[in-house]
Amino acid sequence: MVELLTVIAIISITAALSFPALVAAKRRGQVEASVGILRQLHLGVKLYQENNGGEGPFGSPADMNLPTADVFGSVELYSPTHSSKLDSPCGRNQSWAQNDIIYFNYIYYFNDTTSVIKHINRFEDNLIMFYDPNCDVPGVPIYNPTFRHHMIGILYSGQVVRHFKAGDIREPEYWSQPLTN
């Protein structure tokens, strides 16, 4: 009986020690799967540009032949009814106050076109194109700039960026620094 209890205790301790590592490995896998989807979305935009005249000069999305959220509907700002293929592998972070669920945010979806042009001219290739807010730390208010967020995104240049820092994730400054002239 003592030997059986000893074996059970050893198995329990081993499982308790290995469980956090398994959870961390699962999380890393989810983040890497999300990075893969972000790369596919970036490639989709680049193919859209090529089909519509190539990359134009930095300026408005129309000048750059970028799709709007209306044209490129599968990556609208809020996509609660779209295909499950666009679900984030990280799950669905519902810590923000809105009822909608954000899968992947296409940053060029602005209501104010002059704001878009200002950001594109200021950041150029360093401007964030897509990000996945679902890989944030669970329970952290998504748009609260005082909390540290674990964010992944892809820039217009195709570079994947990963940050674990405080700030407003909707601002381009969170993702990269403006170009210096």
- Residues 115-156 have pLDDT tens digits of 778 888 888 888 888 888 888 877 777 778 888 888 899 998
Contact 152, 135 (CB under 8 A): yes
User: Dihedral through CA 111, CA 179, CA 133, CA 129, nearest 10?
Assistant: 60
> Residue 80 — very low, low, confident or very high, per pLDDT cuts 50/70/90?
very low
- Return the domain boundaries, the chain: 2-175
Of the candidate ranges 38-42, 100-104, 130-134, 151-155, the one whose mean pLDDT is the lowest: 100-104
Higher pLDDT, 104 or 26: 26
Is residue 179 predicted with pLDDT exceeding 90?
Answer: no
- pLDDT mean over 42-48: 86
Distance CA 181, CA 168 (A): 25
State pLDDT tens for residues 47-67.
Answer: 888 888 877 788 877 788 887
Is residue 97 predicted with pLDDT exceeding 60?
Answer: no
Residue 54: left (phi > 0), alpha (psi -120 to 50), or beta? left
Contact 31, 92 (CB under 8 A): no
- pLDDT mean over 2-25: 90
Is residue 159 predicted with pLDDT exceeding 90?
Answer: yes
